[in-house]
Amino acid sequence: MNAQSSPLEGLEEEAPALALAPGLGPKRPGIWELAWPSMAMFALQSLVGLVDFVIVGSLGSEAVAAVGVAAQFFNVLFAVLAAVTTGTVALVARAWGAGDAREADRVIRLSVALGALFGGFVMCLIPFADKVVAAFGVAPGVVALGGSYLRILLAFTLPFAVGFVLGSGLRGAGDVRTPLVIGVVMNLVNVAGNYILVFGKFGAPKLGTDGSAIGSGIALCVSAAIYGALWMRNRLIVPRGRWLEGFERARAARILRIGVPTAVEQIAWQGGLWLFLRIVAGYGTDPISAYLIGVRILSFSFVPGLGFSTAAATLVGQHLGAREPQLAARSGWRANAGAMVVMACVGALIIAIARPVANYFGAAGENTVNLAVTFIWILGAAQPLMAVEFALGGALRGAGDTRFPLVSILTGLFVFRLGGAVVVSRVLGGTVVAVWCCLLMDYAAKASLLSARFASGRWKDMRI
């Protein structure tokens, strides 16, 4: 759905007319129509992330570990911001499905304000960057590089938050193409900035890992500026009303009531990953670098899952807003089937080419590359199970049922992955490869729980 201009005049007085705003009505976009632009965007982000990692990988294993650990913490910020974005998607989708563009606009404007407050608060963490990286239990050299990288990246959290929230609001309304176009521009800027500033090209200073952080920050600013310009000029699908209209405590509470369980879920997920990373770090720098390289390469196989998750959340929310619960259920199951098939195929392809791709990180050392290939084989086998978590988890969140995915995360991650890893590493004295195998139990548990919950249909009656 293309971005379009919508008149502002008389917005508050003409709410009934907005029920027939362009894009609203009985026709809903199909799963693939929503999924492929999201897949394209996530694929581009994964490619850019891989290119960035290759660039940093040329600086050695310490640089790889430093950037990977710092990025792991930055992912926690995504998790906290989910308290806003998840509620935004669910409420905008419900309003859009019901034909109420005015309410969708109110939710988006309030969400942007909440996101901006979040971004400003996070910048206060800049002085503690070194301590954050050191908490991962990495070597002193990694702490020095990672702390500097994280300090720079945290300085850009305000534009990151604003752009992320606006993109989520558009996806809730079914516009996944505008975020794709903006994402293309942002990631091109990111690659160019990283290349120029890491290696000191075209007269720029050679900044190493700091250059990678600055390049990423500039890209975030470009993305936020484009979103802001389109929004201010009313060229987004959701027409923008007066700035403070709809800034009500009850609406903010609805956004956060839906989103906070997802934020807790994501924080628990990132915290669990941090604990898992610490267990892996106990085996040395090569295993932790291999783990981070493997995750970066396998991020391509996550792309279909993320795309189908976006489609499921949007369609389930819109169908429930239009009082079509059976169509909502069908959309969720179809998204799940599509995700399983596509992720299994992509995962198989990545497993097949694991070694040639991992060899691009040759500067990290032969042992690191060999371990990365082994990790890719293990996680590649879990792709169909991961697909269920993406698709049905997205469907439940789109319905506003955000508490059960939290239960599934706590069970799979802390009981099976971390519990198993502790037993393998501390009790049995197993290898890091055996620790990585605990991921399979984690994803199997989550897939079973989410499938049972969605099949129960209890999410159809969620009031948000």
Supply the pLDDT for residue 194.
92
Rounded Cα–Cα distance for residues 72 and 277 (Å): 10
Supply the pLDDT for residue 419.
95
Count of H-run helices and E-run strands, the chain:
19, 0
Rounded Cα–Cα distance for residues 257 and 83 (Å): 8
Q: Give the three-state DSSP class for 137.
A: coil
Supply the pLDDT for residue 165.
93
Residue 12 lies in a domain: no
- Measured between alpha carbons, how far is residue 226 from residues 3, 116, 162, 222, 230 in Å? 13, 16, 11, 6, 6
Residue 284 lies in a domain: yes
Closest by CA position to 198, among listed 33, 390, 58: 58
Is the separation of the CB atoms in 62 and 141 below 8 Å? yes
Rounded Cα–Cα distance for residues 283 and 290 (Å): 11
**Domain span holding position 364:** 27-455
Question: Based on the number of CB atoms within 10 Å of its own CB, is 365 exposed (0-12), middle (13-18) or buried (19 or more)?
Answer: middle
Determine what percent of the chain falls in helix, strand and coil, rounding each to the nearest 5: 80, 0, 20
> 237-259: b or e for each residue (b if 16 or more CB lie within 10 Å)?
bbbbbeeeebeeeebbebbbebb
Closest by CA position to 316, among listed 330, 296, 337: 330
DSSP for residue 324: -
Residue 460 lies in a domain: no
Q: How does pLDDT run along the chain (464 residues), one tens digit per residue?
A: 333 333 222 222 222 223 333 344 445 668 888 888 888 888 887 778 778 878 888 888 888 888 888 887 877 777 788 888 888 998 999 999 888 888 999 999 999 999 999 988 889 889 999 998 888 777 888 899 999 999 999 999 999 999 999 999 998 888 889 999 999 999 999 999 999 999 999 999 999 999 999 999 999 999 999 999 999 888 888 888 777 777 888 999 999 999 889 888 888 887 888 899 889 988 888 888 888 888 877 777 888 898 899 899 999 999 998 889 999 999 999 999 999 999 999 888 888 888 888 887 655 577 888 898 899 989 888 999 999 999 999 999 999 999 999 999 999 999 999 999 999 999 898 999 999 999 999 999 999 999 999 999 999 988 77
Residue 7 lies in a domain: no
Question: How many domains, in total, are found in the chain?
Answer: 1
Supply the pLDDT for residue 75.
75
| Token pair belonging to 292 | 């981070």
| Token pair belonging to 328 | 């909502």
Residue 98 lies in a domain: yes
Rounded Cα–Cα distance for residues 305 and 299 (Å): 10
Supply the pLDDT for residue 28.
64
Residue 2 lies in a domain: no
Closest by CA position to 22, among listed 163, 175, 164: 175
What sign results for the dihedral spanned by CA atoms 397, 399, 402, 406? negative
Residue 394 lies in a domain: yes
- Measured between alpha carbons, how far is residue 311 from residues 43, 164, 409 in Å? 16, 17, 21
Supply the pLDDT for residue 25.
44
Helices (H), 19-100: 31-57, 61-97
Residue 19 lies in a domain: no
Is the separation of the CB atoms in 398 and 316 below 8 Å? yes
